[in-house]
């Protein structure tokens, strides 16, 4: 997830672009850059680091001009460094591009452009767009006027949209088309801000809210051509579009959170997109993208003899779910370990062990220490992380990135579902490479994964019902979460979410374990959340439910639409029907919302809860 912005008008463009990038930093902040088109020439300034580093660079080396585009990056392809910072240029330096999204077929396009003599300066997917447009414009007649140049670059971008695959919000400057910014949108957000004698484009409205509240949100398959006094909208096929502008009601703070009260709530609602982006190009399991981006070729995968997943906190809970998938999909013996324990244990490490280190930040000290220990003892390490360029990604043998965008709430939400989505892909790839997963089952799983984003959106519709439950439970002091099999980890995660943001006592337990002691704590009115989604063990969890109901518990059940309601449930949260093996990815969503609403009702600081840090970089 990156932040893009463009300005064309009569004012100095760079200060406006810099301010816009600062307001978009929540979308990405590992490198930044700007390009200005003035007097028929394009100049760039780019830097690793945050927008403040770009501001300092521009203070030393200013760029005058009234047409500019800018970008703040959250790396998905190519580590965070100046060479990979946007805007990216073609060979001539006369055309630049900024991009938010993922070009799935960039490797094939890059190979073709290299064969045609293009020289690349970065490792990014985005740069192929600049060279592809350059190649296309070379074939069109040299423009005889700015108007002809505008028509040529619009046509070139329209042609590009027929070739590029993946998600993109693109903005382009071409030195032959002065005072023009051309942009296109598919699957990544792009909004146009309409000013007086000036126009803006951005990933999100906060970038230009201080200049105008009149906006047009582009839909997939749409383009815009911006000049100082004009905004032309059209479809990719060139068909003109008329769109009534909306008046954006938010203040800046709300706008940065997309209108949500907290980053955590925004990130809970980001999950359908985060899951979709994490799976993009990786499902079905046959594409070359996976092995090209991870290095995990079928040959490497077929040599894996067992798997050990390591992580901390929520990431450890993702490891617990991943363990089930390594066994059921890959046919491999697997363990899930808290990194803080594993790193100091004299564990036995058989040959052929793959250690999968899961970490949103990629900087958690215990996870890093455990991964280093494993590597030192001969294991191969795969990092599953949300942060390119993180220490874990740099040190691992292989890396698979979740594409959730920055997660700013201390409580991990979209990173968790993104980690699980990534782990399913790894398990399926292992299973296919080891011939432990039948192709028919793999394609069923792929179809189920492709329907996951919309199922997650369905689960988010439970918000109002969950708020009602939260109001009833806001004064409870002790909570139990119970789940079995795949949902045992979800019970642990639901309890952790509640603990860490509402400061209430909550326990997650394997449903079969209650009768071995904890049930002594159940008394009248104690809230128990039962994960009872469709599963071969659902009747077993029903047994645990009747045990707690018999002792007066207040029961909230999470179930799958179409199943018979759990007897005795005081409230049932119905989830969309999804393949049982993927149920944990959906089942956690209502628990995230429950924790959020209870914490907010109790007046807690949801985004920055006491005593906690987003990344625990010390032991
Ligand atoms: C999750 O809500 C917590 N904030 C915490 O447990 C977190 O998951 C843990 O510290 C691991 O962080 P990482 O994923 O960045 O390694």
Residue 33 C-alpha from the chain's centroid: 22
pLDDT tens, position by position, 289-320: 899 889 999 999 999 999 999 999 999 999 99
* CB of 197 closer than 8 Å to CB of 229: yes
Of all protein residues, the one whose alpha carbon is nearest to atom 9 of ligand 1 is 313
Please tell me the distance between residue 315's alpha carbon and the centre of ligand 1 in angstroms.
6
Atom index in ligand 1 nearest the CA of residue 615 equals 15
Please tell me the distance between residue 360's alpha carbon and the centre of ligand 1 in angstroms.
7
Q: What is the mean pLDDT of residues 539-564?
A: 93
* Residue linked to tokens 């200013």: 62
CA–CA gap between residue 270 and residue 267 (Å, rounded): 5
Tokens representing 487? Answer: 């949902």
Residue 341 C-alpha from the chain's centroid: 29
pLDDT tens, position by position, 244-253: 899 887 777 7
- Which of 2, 183, 319, 604 is labelled catalytic? 2
Q: What is the mean pLDDT of residues 578-597?
A: 97
* Residue linked to tokens 């793959």: 354
pLDDT computed for residue 289 by the predictor: 87
Q: How many CB atoms lie within 10 A of CB 378?
A: 11
Residue 388 pLDDT level (bands cut at 50, 70, 90): confident
What is the enclosing helix (H) or strand (E) of 13?
A: helix 13-23
Instruction: Give the list of residues 6+ apart from residue 402 with CB closer than 8 angstroms, or none.
Output: 274, 278, 360, 384, 385, 386, 415, 418, 419, 421, 422
pLDDT computed for residue 456 by the predictor: 98
pLDDT tens, position by position, 202-229: 998 889 999 999 999 999 999 999 999 9
Residue 330 main-chain phi, psi, to 5 deg: -100, -10
pLDDT computed for residue 399 by the predictor: 95
Ligand 1 within 6 A of CB of 361: yes
Strand partners, 202: 5, 191
Tokens representing 380? Answer: 């191969």
pLDDT tens, position by position, 132-157: 999 999 999 999 999 999 999 999 99
Ligand 1 within 6 A of CB of 616: yes
Of 167, 184, 172, nearest to 1 by C-alpha is 167
* Residue linked to tokens 């046509």: 155
Residue 387 pLDDT level (bands cut at 50, 70, 90): confident
**Within the chain, how many helices (H) and strands (E) appear?**
21, 25
Q: What is the mean pLDDT of residues 37-49?
A: 95
CA–CA gap between residue 103 and residue 101 (Å, rounded): 7
Q: What is the mean pLDDT of residues 406-414?
A: 92
pLDDT tens, position by position, 474-509: 999 999 999 999 999 999 999 999 999 999 999 999
- Which of 11, 50, 540, 614 is labelled catalytic? 614
In this predicted structure, the answer to whether residue 618 has a pLDDT above a threshold of 90 is: no
Residue 15 C-alpha from the chain's centroid: 29
pLDDT computed for residue 259 by the predictor: 83
CA–CA gap between residue 8 and residue 10 (Å, rounded): 7
pLDDT computed for residue 26 by the predictor: 78
CA–CA gap between residue 553 and residue 492 (Å, rounded): 19
pLDDT computed for residue 28 by the predictor: 81
Please tell me the distance between residue 430's alpha carbon and the centre of ligand 1 in angstroms.
26
In this predicted structure, the answer to whether residue 255 has a pLDDT above a threshold of 80 is: no
Please tell me the distance between residue 97's alpha carbon and the centre of ligand 1 in angstroms.
35
pLDDT computed for residue 359 by the predictor: 97
- For β-strands 554-560 and 230-235, DSSP reports them as unpaired
Ligand 1 within 6 A of CB of 410: yes
CA–CA gap between residue 295 and residue 299 (Å, rounded): 10
Share of the chain above pLDDT 70, in %: 100
Residue 484 main-chain phi, psi, to 5 deg: -130, 160
pLDDT computed for residue 150 by the predictor: 97
Ligand 1 within 6 A of CB of 133: no
Q: Which of 263, 268, 311, 313 has most ligand 1 atoms within 8 Å of its beta carbon, as the pocket-test mutant? A: 313
Q: Which of 262, 315, 496 has most ligand 1 atoms within 8 Å of its beta carbon, as the pocket-test mutant? A: 315
Q: What is the mean pLDDT of residues 357-370?
A: 95
Tokens representing 269? Answer: 């609602």
Q: What is the mean pLDDT of residues 105-130?
A: 96
Ligand 1 within 6 A of CB of 411: yes
* CB of 21 closer than 8 Å to CB of 3: yes
Please tell me the distance between residue 314's alpha carbon and the centre of ligand 1 in angstroms.
5
Distances (CA, A) of 551 to 520, 528, 554, 559: 9, 11, 9, 22
Tokens representing 99? Answer: 């991009």
Atom index in ligand 1 nearest the CA of residue 311 equals 16
pLDDT computed for residue 258 by the predictor: 81
Atom index in ligand 1 nearest the CA of residue 496 equals 2
Residue 390 pLDDT level (bands cut at 50, 70, 90): confident
Instruction: Give the list of residues 6+ apart from residue 255 with CB closer than 8 angstroms, or none.
Output: 23, 204, 205, 206, 209, 248
String of DSSP letters for 82-142:
GGGSSSEE-SSSSEEEEEEEEETTHHHHHHHHHHTT-----S-STHHHHHHHHHHHHHSPP
Residue 254 pLDDT level (bands cut at 50, 70, 90): confident
Atom index in ligand 1 nearest the CA of residue 314 equals 8
Tokens representing 153? Answer: 């670059």
pLDDT computed for residue 389 by the predictor: 73
Tokens representing 62? Answer: 């200013």
Q: What is the mean pLDDT of residues 316-339?
A: 98
Ligand 1 within 6 A of CB of 188: no
In this predicted structure, the answer to whether residue 256 has a pLDDT above a threshold of 80 is: no
Please tell me the distance between residue 579's alpha carbon and the centre of ligand 1 in angstroms.
27
pLDDT computed for residue 578 by the predictor: 95
Ligand 1 within 6 A of CB of 385: no
Ligand 1 within 6 A of CB of 203: no
Please tell me the distance between residue 419's alpha carbon and the centre of ligand 1 in angstroms.
12
Burial-class residue 119 by CB neighbours within 10 Å (0-12, 13-18, 19+). exposed
Establish whether 614 is a catalytic residue.
yes
CA–CA gap between residue 415 and residue 555 (Å, rounded): 28
Instruction: Give the list of residues 6+ apart from residue 564 with CB closer than 8 angstroms, or none.
Output: none
Q: Give the number of C-alpha atoms closer than 13 A to the C-alpha of residue 98, restricted to the C-beta side.
A: 37
pLDDT computed for residue 613 by the predictor: 78
Please tell me the distance between residue 317's alpha carbon and the centre of ligand 1 in angstroms.
10
Per-chain mean pLDDT for the chain: 94
């Amino acid at each position: 997830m990156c932040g893009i912005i463009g300005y064309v008008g009569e004012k100095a463009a760079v200060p406006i672009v810099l301010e816009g990038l600062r307001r978009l930093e929540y979308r990405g902040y590992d490198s930044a850059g700007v390009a200005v088109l003035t007097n028929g020439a394009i100049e760039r300034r780019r830097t690793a680091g945050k927008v403040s580093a770009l501001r300092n660079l521009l203070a030393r080396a200013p760029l005058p001009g009234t047409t500019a585009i800018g970008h703040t990056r959250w790396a998905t392809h190519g580590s965070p460094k100046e060479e990979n910072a946007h805007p990216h240029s073609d060979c001539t330096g006369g055309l630049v591009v900024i991009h938010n999204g993922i070009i799935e077929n960039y490797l094939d396009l890059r190979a073709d452009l290299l064969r045609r003599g293009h020289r690349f300066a970065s490792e990014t997917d985005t740069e192929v767009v600049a060279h592809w447009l350059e190649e296309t414009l070379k074939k069109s007649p040299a423009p005889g006027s700015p108007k002809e140049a505008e028509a040529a670059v619009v046509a070139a971008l329209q042609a590009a949209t027929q070739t590029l695959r993946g998600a993109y919000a693109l903005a382009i400057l071409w030195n032959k088309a002065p005072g023009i910014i051309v942009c296109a949108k598919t699957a990544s957000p792009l909004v146009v801000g309409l000013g007086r004698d000036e126009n803006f484009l951005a990933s999100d409205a906060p970038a230009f809210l201080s200049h105008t509240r009149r906006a047009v949100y582009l839909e997939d398959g749409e383009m815009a051509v911006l000049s100082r006094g004009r905004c032309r909208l059209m479809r990719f096929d060139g068909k003109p579009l008329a769109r009534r502008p909306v008046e954006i009601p938010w203040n800046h703070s709300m706008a940065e959170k997309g209108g949500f009260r907290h980053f955590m709530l925004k990130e809970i609602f980001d999950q359908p997109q985060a899951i979709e982006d994490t799976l993009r190009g990786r499902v079905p399991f046959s594409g070359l993208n996976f092995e090209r981006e991870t290095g995990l070729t079928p040959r490497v995968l077929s040599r894996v003899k067992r798997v050990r997943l390591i992580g901390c906190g929520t990431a450890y809970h993702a490891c617990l779910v991943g363990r089930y998938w390594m066994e059921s999909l890959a046919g491999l013996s697997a363990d899930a370990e808290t990194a803080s324990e594993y790193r100091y244990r004299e564990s036995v490490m058989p040959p052929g062990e793959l250690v999968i280190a899961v970490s949103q930040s990629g900087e958690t000290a215990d996870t890093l220490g455990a991964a280093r220990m494993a590597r030192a003892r001969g294991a191969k390490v795969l990092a599953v992380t949300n942060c390119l360029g993180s220490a874990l990604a740099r040190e691992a043998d292989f890396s698979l990135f979740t594409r959730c965008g920055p997660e700013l709430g201390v409580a991990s939400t979209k990173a968790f579902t993104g980690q699980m989505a990534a782990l399913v892909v790894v398990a399926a790839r292992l299973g296919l490479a080891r011939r432990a997963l039948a192709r028919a089952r793999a394609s069923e799983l792929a179809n189920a994964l492709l329907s996951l984003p919309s199922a997650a959106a369905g689960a988010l519709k439970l918000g109002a019902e969950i708020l009602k439950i939260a109001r009833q439970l806001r004064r409870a002091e002790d909570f139990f979460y119970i789940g079995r099999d795949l949902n045992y980890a979800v019970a642990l995660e639901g309890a952790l979410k509640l603990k860490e943001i509402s400061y209430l006592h909550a326990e997650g337990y394997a449903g079969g374990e209650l009768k071995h002691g904890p049930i002594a704590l159940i008394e009248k009115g104690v809230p128990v959340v039962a994960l009872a989604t469709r599963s071969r063990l659902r009747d077993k969890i029903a047994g645990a439910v009747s045990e707690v109901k018999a002792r007066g518990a207040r029961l909230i059940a999470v179930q799958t639409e179409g199943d018979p309601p759990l007897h005795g449930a005081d409230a049932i949260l119905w989830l969309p029907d999804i393949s049982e093996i993927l149920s944990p990815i959906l089942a956690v969503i209502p628990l995230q919302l429950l924790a959020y609403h209870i914490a907010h009702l109790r007046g807690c600081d949801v985004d920055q809860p006491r005593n906690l840090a987003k990344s625990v970089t010390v032991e």
